[in-house]
Structure 1
Amino acid sequence: MSDTPPRRGPVLIELDAPPADPRPGPASEPRDDTLNPADAPPIDATDPVLPRPRTMEMVTRLVGRPPSRLTRFFINSGVALFTFLLSISALNFISGLLTRYPVLGWIGVALFALFTLAALGMAWREYRAWARFARIDAIQRQAGAALADDSMDKARAVADDMLALYRERPELEWHRKRLADNRGDAFDARTLLTMAETELLASLDQDARREIEAAARTVATATALIPLALADVAAALAANLRMIRRMAEIYGGRAGAVGGWRLARTVMTHLVATGAVAAGDDLIHTVAGGGVLAKVSRRFGEGVVNGALTARVGIAAMEVCRPLPFIAQPRPKVRNLVTRGLRGLFGSDERG
């Protein structure tokens, strides 16, 4: 044993103890407190901002918002006052003209009478158009009741009404004969309505799809190429109103100036009532595609989304103007309509 005394060195005393590991696990598991760069979030991990369809939002607000009672009272009273004053002024002018120049006065009377007859004719046309829409709406309700009750009597009445509705359409003459000859083979309401839909509405659905594709293409192009703020809104509004009027004409209705505007409001109300304004599965892909294109051109991305919303308005117009619901025929999808509509910008859109 050596007599050499032990050496004394510095002593390290830790004042703060390390915090305990809150993660569960065995105490002998080693802990790695080093930061891993791979765990850091990417810089551009934020969600991309999708283009907003400002043009179609403005069109929907202009068409779908109903005026208040005060606004309707103001418009009606203003139109009545203007018509009354215009009539009094015309009568005073014609009476004075008859006194001074009888020949010119009688010419004025004849022109005023012709204008009155033309105004009455336009009013009669608007009344007949809405009577035809009421007829189509009655067929829709009766068809829904026939499907719900599985009633052959109601289904036969619906088939008779549809044959009478398209009696004056020469392009459907062969289909009407087929339906009239084969309707006796149906033994339930759904089969008979499916037969009526296939024979009478299949070709009309193709024409309606083409109109929707053309309107979506027009709105998308106008949004992408027109730099003015309100010019694209006017172009989209005109394209949507024309598309809705064409839907009515295809399925058997006719809408004039006032009737077309009221029909557009009915279509917008149908969109809100059915929840079709929300982004469904058929619209999500189109909006996502518009977000991708917005990285290249913001206006072109907005054009794609506006075209998709125009296609959705067209589908709602089909559901409003169509005498029967979609039973056997496939319901159009926004994605397919927009794809075919935009394909027409770069080539032929003929169906294979």
Structure 2
Amino acid sequence: MSETPSPRRPTAFRLDDPDVVVAGSREAPAGRIVVEPEPDDVPALPVPPRRRGFRWGRLFWSGVGGLVTLGIGLSVDRLVRDLFAREDWLGWLGLGLAALASVAAVAIIVREVAGIWRLARIDELRADAAAAVLGDDTPKAVKVAEGLVALYRERPQTARGRAAVAGHLGEVIDGRDLMVLVEADLVTPLDRAAQRLVADAAKKVSIVTAISPRAVVDLVFVLVTVLGLIRRLADLYGGRPGTIGFLGLTRHVFAHLAVTGGMAAGDGLVQQILGHGIAARLSTRLGEGVINGLLTARVGLAAIDVCRPMPFVAATRPGIQEVMGGLMPEAEAKTR
């Protein structure tokens, strides 16, 4: 029987010790300490598709909404009849106000439906782009490129990118290469703007929650800032959701964060705080502000994944360090 080797006892060492060898760099002589480095970034998982199909909850709320609408309609009809019975001019006034409210309700419904359709269109473009990249499918890549050009047709700042993409469509290019060009010409400029939005929101949360005297104020401010950030990112990438679409988008963002961001958030927070050597010098309030800012940045990065109309192909997915690069040096300078 072979003897089971006993596990090596924990050893304290310095990284600049000449006896410390990184695994894979060279063969470690006997007596040397071998360190196996871990990857810096956790690979981003694909955005899970939104659940579709028949739902009993949706049917229930549709029925309740229909009953409420009928009840409101009957109440308005009764009110208008009573107004006509009292005075004709009151009846006509009530009828005009009811017509005005009906027109506004139709406009709101149209806006909500259009917002939901745009979000569904972005999900479809992202799924088709991922399939085009994986399968090197040129026809599907051309379809995605045309869809992105149509999505941003009303954006003057995307005119140069749309012109470049239109020029690529007339060339013979592989599907994946076409997606790389479309990403660089049309989507990457939006990524830079999205990264600035996330960085500004995270730094604002860090500052306000560091000086706020009440935890309730911190909670409300963080919630309002995060929801506003999600809406601005959705508008930036072309989603422009209404109220109902925004609620569904927010739920999808937090679901994506729970799937892909749990481990990365913990690792990123520890590396950011300990890596800059300020954990022991930060005051309690300043430390809470930094943590809140980093968590806000994590939500913003998850929102970028969900709102972006195509997955990251050749472009580098922004991380905590890119978004919060200026926060830690500022916090460390304040503690000196």
Q: TM-score, normalised by structure 1?
A: 0.70
TM-superposed CA distance for 1:206, in Å, is 1.1
Unaligned runs of 5+ in 2: 1-54
Match for residue 318 of structure 2 among 332, 338, 344: 332
- CA offsets 1:188-224 (integer angstroms, 9 cap, x no match): 2221100000000121111101110121122222321
Structure 2: distance between partners of 1:307 and 1:241: 14
Structure 2: distance between partners of 1:182 and 1:198: 12
Tell me the amino acid that sits aligned with residue 305 of structure 2: E
Corresponding position: 1:255 with 2:241? yes
Change (3 A) 1:78 1:217: farther
Tell me the amino acid that sits aligned with residue 181 of structure 1: G
Match for residue 175 of structure 2 among 181, 185, 189: 189
Secondary structure at 2:325 match in 1: helix
Asked whether the equivalents of residues 290 and 302 of structure 1 are also in contact (C-alpha less than 8 Å), the reply is no
Secondary structure at 1:107 match in 2: helix
Tell me the amino acid that sits aligned with residue 91 of structure 1: D
Match for residue 195 of structure 2 among 202, 209, 223: 209
Structure 1: distance between partners of 2:276 and 2:329: 15
Change (3 A) 1:191 1:74: closer
Partner of 1:180: 166
Change (3 A) 1:293 1:345: closer
Structure 1: distance between partners of 2:86 and 2:143: 64
Asked whether the equivalents of residues 272 and 328 of structure 2 are also in contact (C-alpha less than 8 Å), the reply is no
- CA offsets 1:18-37 (integer angstroms, 9 cap, x no match): xxxxxxxxxxxxxxxxxxxx
Partner of 1:166: 152
Partner of 2:219: 233
Partner of 1:350: none
Change (3 A) 1:278 1:77: farther
Tell me the amino acid that sits aligned with residue 85 of structure 2: T
Structure 1: distance between partners of 2:197 and 2:251: 19
Structure 2: distance between partners of 1:199 and 1:91: 56
Paired residues for 1:43-62 under 5 Å:
none
- CA offsets 1:254-299 (integer angstroms, 9 cap, x no match): 0122222221111011112224454365433224379935754212
Structure 2: distance between partners of 1:134 and 1:183: 24
Structure 1: distance between partners of 2:90 and 2:329: 59
Paired residues for 1:273-312 under 5 Å:
273-276=259-262, 278-279=264-265, 281-288=267-274, 292-293=278-279, 295-312=281-298
Partner of 1:131: 117
Asked whether the equivalents of residues 219 and 303 of structure 1 are also in contact (C-alpha less than 8 Å), the reply is yes
Partner of 1:271: 257
Structure 2: distance between partners of 1:70 and 1:153: 37
Change (3 A) 1:314 1:96: same
Structure 2: distance between partners of 1:291 and 1:268: 30
Asked whether the equivalents of residues 223 and 232 of structure 1 are also in contact (C-alpha less than 8 Å), the reply is yes
TM-superposed CA distance for 1:151, in Å, is 1.5
Asked whether the equivalents of residues 297 and 324 of structure 2 are also in contact (C-alpha less than 8 Å), the reply is yes
Tell me the amino acid that sits aligned with residue 192 of structure 1: L
Structure 2: distance between partners of 1:73 and 1:187: 46
Tell me the amino acid that sits aligned with residue 76 of structure 2: A
Partner of 2:102: 116
Change (3 A) 1:209 1:93: same
Paired residues for 1:9-28 under 5 Å:
none
Corresponding position: 1:107 with 2:80? no
Partner of 1:96: 82
Match for residue 220 of structure 1 among 201, 206, 222: 206
- CA offsets 1:71-111 (integer angstroms, 9 cap, x no match): 99998787666655554443333221111121122111111
Q: TM-score, normalised by structure 2?
A: 0.73
Tell me the amino acid that sits aligned with residue 212 of structure 1: V
- CA offsets 1:32-83 (integer angstroms, 9 cap, x no match): xxxxxxxxxxxxxxxxxxxxxxxxxxxxxxxxxxxxx999999878766665
- RMSD across aligned C-alpha pairs, in angstroms? 3.0
Structure 1: distance between partners of 2:291 and 2:307: 24
Percent identity for Structure 1 against Structure 2: 40
Structure with higher Rg: it is 1
TM-superposed CA distance for 1:168, in Å, is 1.7
TM-superposed CA distance for 1:248, in Å, is 0.9
Number of residues paired by the alignment? 278
Secondary structure at 1:292 match in 2: coil
